[in-house]
Amino acid sequence: MRRSAARNVSLVALAAALLSVGAAPPPSASTGSPAVPPTAKTPVAAGYGGAVASVDADASAAGIEVLRRGGNAVDAAVATAAALGVTEPYSAGIGGGGYFVYYDAKSRTVHTIDGRETAPKSADSSLFLENGAPIPFADAVTSGLGVGTPGTAATWDTALGAWGSRSLGQVLAPAERLAKNGFTVDETFRSQTQSNQARFADFPATAELFLPGGRLPVVGSVFKNADLARTYAELGRKGTGALYRGELGRDLVRTVRKPPVDPAADRVVRPGDLTAQDLAAYRTKRQAPTEVSYRGLDVYGMAPSSSGGTSVGEALNILEGTDLSKASRAGYLHRFIEASRIAFADRGRWVGDPAFEDVPTKGLLSQRFADSRACLIKDDAVLKSPLAPGDPKNPAPCDRGGTAAPTTFEGENTTHLTAADKWGNVVAYTLTIESTGGSAITVPGRGFLLNNELTDFSFAPANPAVHDPNLPGPGKRPRSSISPTIVLDRHDRPVLAVGSPGGATIITTVLQTLTGHLDRGLPLVDAIAAPRASQRNAAATELEPGLWNSPVRAQLEALGHVFTQNPEIGAATGVQRLPDGRWLAAAERERRGGGSAMVVHPAGKR
């Protein structure tokens, strides 16, 4: 879910908006009187004392509040994430998971947490098969079958325990308050509720929360979530054991195993097989980041089970040999698109959960392998997709042999935040419940939606002739494209951090933002705002309207590129360390309603 510019409407515009969506529903636990003026949103801010950038002003403000009270970047990141669970409930929350990348200023090192959801111990490669055939994707999404063991709360606990300076209860306090007091409904929240209305209506707990009185929430009203406020308070008092070993977890397991469907509903909702033992056995993974050198900088990302770090890293290695700063716009985009195509071809064949698959991470990130793939790119021709993968264990220059593994679908409604503090620590954190609205199943009385992350697995091999590393397995993590990224200079000091939601388009969004800033010289906020292209080893490359309607499209089509239009790709945020010691926070200007960049002390104030 994304907060839109409607948060900043005047009283006149607010009145018009209320008229446009109909009369307000009767008072309920979720909606009430018109809101107080919402926190203003701005896509860029610079100053001292630390910075936070997210898609939502209330969430960014929660992180800034923690920084102002002496917390560090990790504390602020968890506070922001918890607030996003309130205001962005269709994209994130404790019913999901994510990936956390942290730069420690004292040791000048980068660390990561894999907080990806896991399949039940009972799962095998036939998880989504019935009578030997894959079930419909939509049926898998709206089911208990697609719910993985949540990792978000464990991620918060791991991060705070390793690097935080505040307790879980302290950093959850702003989000608990926000859930109790409510936030202002905007057109984006209403429209995304509307797009899920049929699903939500079939689950009484979900309908009671998001469709009070059977109606959509009204733009300009206050949306409250008292159940989530109580859940956060419980986590703050008891710790995350309440979810993984306590009554909260038992409620979650009961909901997955017997989804509470309206008896009058026609929808067939398959149960899942998640158990209390699965919850108790869940562990985050602290692991080394991916690392590549690019333009004299060190780029760190998320290692498998995410494919983000390996794919962004491989594409950067491929582009290293081309001076993109001197290329024409069409020449730059051509190289960017082709590098993305190649990286996705290799991702599809090689990347899965390394606890189950032999993932050649080192080989995928080697310059030798990248060079063997870069020679496929020609200035006057376009590679055809699906492109076959290379072999990072035995690179063969310009090899086109082998069988392609097409890219599988991933849901696009995730959320990303970045944070930095006065000591120089930095966090890039992407969290998700997968599809917009996740599984559509709310844990009764608990105030949060469950994920459908297991639908990120391949339901069946993408190509029967090629080993698919992303089939389900017991306790296995589905492959992700999440790409939180931190860039350091040669003295191991932070340059910038960036990330984005967007399913498989996350990889191309982060790659384009990095090259736009580092190669093309765009200010970070402009690199984030630039119109995007996304090629994922498919026959056609997706273009946003800004490129679709540009003369550059015809120039690229003359080379052989084929395009389809995508109205919106990604929604990035970032932070940057400026030469004078200030932090700059940057977010979207337009996409998904625009983002919110904040600093503790604006420029000129310490």
pLDDT tens for 485-517 read: 999 999 999 999 999 999 999 999 999 999 999
Q: Which of 423, 456, 489 is the last residue of a domain?
A: 456
Q: H or E segment at 587?
A: strand 583-587
Query: Does residue 351 sit in the same domain as residue 498?
Result: yes
Domain-embedded: residue 421: no
What pLDDT is recorded for position 404?
81
Provide CB contacts within 8 A for 549, sequence distance 6+.
Answer: none
Domain-embedded: residue 256: yes
**Does the structure show a pLDDT above 70 at 27?**
no
Backbone phi, psi, residue 331, to 5°: -65, -40
Q: Which of 421, 456, 491 is the last residue of a domain?
A: 456
Q: What is the mean pLDDT of residues 176-184?
A: 97
Query: Does residue 276 sit in the same domain as residue 293?
Result: no
Domain-embedded: residue 422: no
11 — pLDDT class (breaks 50, 70, 90): very low
What pLDDT is recorded for position 33?
41
Query: Does residue 179 sit in the same domain as residue 63?
Result: yes
What pLDDT is recorded for position 40?
78
Query: Does residue 444 sit in the same domain as residue 369?
Result: no
What pLDDT is recorded for position 401?
73
**Does the structure show a pLDDT above 50 at 477?**
yes
Query: Does residue 117 sit in the same domain as residue 209?
Result: yes
Query: Does residue 291 sit in the same domain as residue 190?
Result: no
H helix and E strand count, the chain: 21, 21
Residue 312's domain comprises 286-410+465-473+476-602
> What is the spatial distance between Cα 269 and Cα 561, in angstroms, rounded to a whole number?
42
What pLDDT is recorded for position 411?
65
Domain-embedded: residue 162: yes
Residues 298-355 have pLDDT tens digits of 999 999 999 999 999 999 999 999 999 999 999 999 999 999 999 999 999 999 999 9
Partners of 291 in the β-ladder: 300
> What is the spatial distance between Cα 31 and Cα 21, in angstroms, rounded to a whole number?
14
What pLDDT is recorded for position 492?
98
> What is the spatial distance between Cα 127 and Cα 454, in angstroms, rounded to a whole number?
9
What pLDDT is recorded for position 400?
79
Three-state DSSP class for residue 236? helix
39 — pLDDT class (breaks 50, 70, 90): low
- Among left, alpha and beta (phi > 0; psi -120 to 50; other), residue 60 is alpha
Query: Does residue 393 sit in the same domain as residue 381?
Result: yes
Higher-confidence position of 404 and 291 = 291
Taking the CB of residue 587, how many other CB atoms lie within 10 A of it? 34
**Does the structure show a pLDDT above 60 at 238?**
yes
What pLDDT is recorded for position 37?
56
Overall domain count for the chain: 2
Query: Does residue 257 sit in the same domain as residue 321?
Result: no
Domain-embedded: residue 76: yes
Query: Does residue 157 sit in the same domain as residue 247?
Result: yes
604 — pLDDT class (breaks 50, 70, 90): low
Q: What is the mean pLDDT of residues 24-34?
A: 38
> What is the spatial distance between Cα 88 and Cα 1, in angstroms, rounded to a whole number?
4
Classify burial at 247, counting beta carbons within 10 Å of its beta carbon; exposed 0-12, middle 13-18, buried 19 or more.
exposed
Provide CB contacts within 8 A for 191, sequence distance 6+.
Answer: none
| Integer angstrom CA distances of residue 335 from 296, 340, 378, 512, 531 | 20, 9, 9, 11, 16
Look-up: residue for tokens 């419980």?
Answer: 234
What pLDDT is recorded for position 12?
26
Report which of 245, 308, 250, 311 is spatially closest to residue 281, judged by C-alpha positions. Answer: 245
461 — pLDDT class (breaks 50, 70, 90): confident
> What is the spatial distance between Cα 49 and Cα 583, in angstroms, rounded to a whole number?
8
Query: Does residue 390 sit in the same domain as residue 438?
Result: no
Provide CB contacts within 8 A for 166, sequence distance 6+.
Answer: 66, 71, 75, 160
What pLDDT is recorded for position 71?
98
Query: What value does the mean pLDDT of the chain take?
Result: 92
> What is the spatial distance between Cα 336 and Cα 63, in angstroms, rounded to a whole number?
34
Name the least confident of 176-190, 247-261, 437-451, 481-495: 176-190
What pLDDT is recorded for position 29?
39
Report which of 360, 361, 359, 373 is spatially closest to residue 320, judged by C-alpha positions. Answer: 373
> What is the spatial distance between Cα 4 and Cα 168, in angstroms, rounded to a whole number?
29
Query: Does residue 117 sit in the same domain as residue 71?
Result: yes
Report which of 173, 154, 175, 170 is spatially closest to residue 82, judged by C-alpha positions. Answer: 175
**Does the structure show a pLDDT above 50 at 81?**
yes
Domain-embedded: residue 386: yes
Choice among 188, 206, 240, 414 that is catalytic: 414
Domain-embedded: residue 294: yes
187 — pLDDT class (breaks 50, 70, 90): confident
Do the beta carbons of residue 346 and residue 390 sit within 8 Å? yes
CATH number at residue 549: 3.60.20.40
Domain-embedded: residue 52: no
Query: Does residue 109 sit in the same domain as residue 151?
Result: yes
Percent over 70 (pLDDT), the chain: 92
What pLDDT is recorded for position 606?
61
* Residue 414 falls in the annotated catalytic set: yes
> What is the spatial distance between Cα 557 and Cα 288, in angstroms, rounded to a whole number?
41
Residues 369-399 have pLDDT tens digits of 999 999 999 999 999 999 999 999 999 999 8
Residues 280-313 have pLDDT tens digits of 999 999 999 999 999 999 999 999 999 999 999 9
Look-up: residue for tokens 């994209």?
Answer: 91
